């Protein structure tokens, strides 16, 4: 695997100077996980839409996926 730039949380001194990187395999795993959560929400129907934890996790994964799309860095 190649070098990975650590992800810093908000308020922790700002983003890394070079930006965040993710390898292709990790990006694929991230997207597969997001899809799994979305499928779970769909399977749960209205009940899933009212689950704050599920909705919050989906939103966080969507934000993370957007940050790394398209994947950059080492392949």
Q: In whole angstroms, what is the distance from residue 57 CA to residue 60 CA?
A: 5
Residue spans per domain, the chain:
24-67
> What pLDDT was estimated at residue 1?
45
Q: In whole angstroms, what is the distance from residue 73 CA to residue 54 CA?
A: 30
Give the number of other CB atoms < 10 A from CB of residue 8: 12
What global pTM score does this model have? Answer: 0.58
Per-residue pLDDT in tens (0 to 9) along the chain, 75 residues: 445 555 555 555 555 555 667 788 888 888 898 898 888 888 888 776 678 888 888 888 888 888 877 666 544
Judge contact between 21 and 13, C-beta under 8 A: no
Q: In whole angstroms, what is the distance from residue 36 CA to residue 14 CA?
A: 30
């Amino acid at each position: 695997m190649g070098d990975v730039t650590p992800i810093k949380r908000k308020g922790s001194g700002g983003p890394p100077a070079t930006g965040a990187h993710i390898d292709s395999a990790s990006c694929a795993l991230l997207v597969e996980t997001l899809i799994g959560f979305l499928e779970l929400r769909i399977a749960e129907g209205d009940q899933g839409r009212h689950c704050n934890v599920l909705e919050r996790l989906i939103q966080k994964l969507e934000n993370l996926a957007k940050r790394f799309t398209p994947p950059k860095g080492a392949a």
